Homo-oligomer: A and B are copies of this chain.
């Protein structure tokens, strides 16, 4: 779609001309390093498309869009410290390339910058308020994620609430913020938010599937990283639900193993169990329900269908993504 490409280009230009430098270099170099990496720019795009949908002006939404992208990248920098992740997007993570003190501080600085950027918009105070709310929720989600690493039993509902907080609320807020900036009424803002929540949960479930079942060439990373890391993803939790007593015992044992075991063998064994239980199909069914919910929220908005076409096509591509 022409309009999607236009907005992507507009945001890329805006980002390129933004002055993200400062002193000392140690503090600011990681910020450009992170923000300038090619990425989907999902959150700014959702903000700009929602703003567009309700007839807002692009220039009123560019700073908030940058705020959302800056905020998202701050969370990645701090999460990578906690997860001890060496690589992201094929490049060394900030704490690996510099060190964890610099990663903490440049992340802090980005969080503050995100608020500064949001406040530059004509409706900056409201944008910053939305950012404050979502920032707390994302922190809560990350803390639940950390807790679940060591917590024995995690229910599917607990997992869904965790990914709602860690992933979905930021997509939802990006959409709501775009709508708010364009002057959409509270009902339509809420519909955009609901659209984003359902889309975001589906997005994360897709992530769980892609980790094991994607085309490696397209996905760009090896398969089964979540299994190697003993991550209790939806696939794993669904498998526990569907498994016989014996498989359940074997799965929980496998998910207690650490890197000293043969990783490939472990991943292969888990995959065999998942496949026997048709876990992938079961998760895809749940995803389809969330996608349905998402598009129902979009349908509920009282605007002509052709206005919604860009956002709909963008979200459809997201729902069917292969990486």
* Docked CA distance A18–B119 (Å): 25
Whether the pair A142, B105 counts as a contact (CB closer than 8 A) is yes
Q: Pick out which of these stretches binds chain B: A106-114, A168-176, A283-291.
A: A106-114
Whether the pair A111, B109 counts as a contact (CB closer than 8 A) is no
A225 at the interface (CB under 8 A from B): no
Interface string of A288-310 (1 = CB under 8 A from B): 00000000000000000000000
A282 at the interface (CB under 8 A from B): no
Interface string of A148-182 (1 = CB under 8 A from B): 00000000000000000000000000000000000
| B contact residues around A81 at 8 Å (CB) | 101, 104
Whether the pair B78, A140 counts as a contact (CB closer than 8 A) is no
The answer to whether A116 and B104 touch (CB under 8 A), given A27-B143, A144-B24, is no
Whether the pair A136, B112 counts as a contact (CB closer than 8 A) is yes
Q: Pick out which of these stretches binds chain B: A32-40, A58-66, A123-131, A264-272.
A: A123-131
A322: min CB distance to chain B, Å: 32
Whether the pair A139, B109 counts as a contact (CB closer than 8 A) is yes
Whether the pair B26, A147 counts as a contact (CB closer than 8 A) is yes
* Docked CA distance A302–B225 (Å): 66
A82 at the interface (CB under 8 A from B): yes
Whether the pair B119, A129 counts as a contact (CB closer than 8 A) is yes
* Docked CA distance A109–B81 (Å): 16
| B contact residues around A101 at 8 Å (CB) | 81-82, 146
A133 at the interface (CB under 8 A from B): yes
| B contact residues around A106 at 8 Å (CB) | 139
A115 at the interface (CB under 8 A from B): yes
A50 at the interface (CB under 8 A from B): no
Whether the pair B111, A136 counts as a contact (CB closer than 8 A) is no
A132 at the interface (CB under 8 A from B): yes
* Docked CA distance A135–B114 (Å): 11
* Docked CA distance A22–B147 (Å): 15
The answer to whether A112 and B139 touch (CB under 8 A), given A82-B104, A104-B81, A147-B24, is yes
- Out of B22, B129, B140, name the residue touching A27 (CB < 8 Å): B140
Whether the pair B113, A115 counts as a contact (CB closer than 8 A) is no
Closest to A74 in B: B108
- Out of B116, B129, B144, B147, name the residue touching A136 (CB < 8 Å): B116
Which of A27, A124, A132, A139 has the most chain B CB atoms closer than 10 A to its own CB?
A139
A23 at the interface (CB under 8 A from B): yes
* Docked CA distance A174–B19 (Å): 27
Closest to A27 in B: B143
Whether the pair A112, B128 counts as a contact (CB closer than 8 A) is no
* Docked CA distance A277–B140 (Å): 53
* Docked CA distance A124–B106 (Å): 25
| B contact residues around A139 at 8 Å (CB) | 27, 105-106, 108-109, 112
| B contact residues around A26 at 8 Å (CB) | 143, 146-147
Closest 8 CB pairs of A and B: A112-B135, A125-B125, A116-B132, A27-B143, A109-B139, A82-B101, A115-B115, A24-B143
- Residue pairs across A and B with Cβ atoms less than 8 A apart, 7 shown, are A102-B143, A112-B139, A116-B132, A116-B133, A119-B125, A119-B129, A119-B132
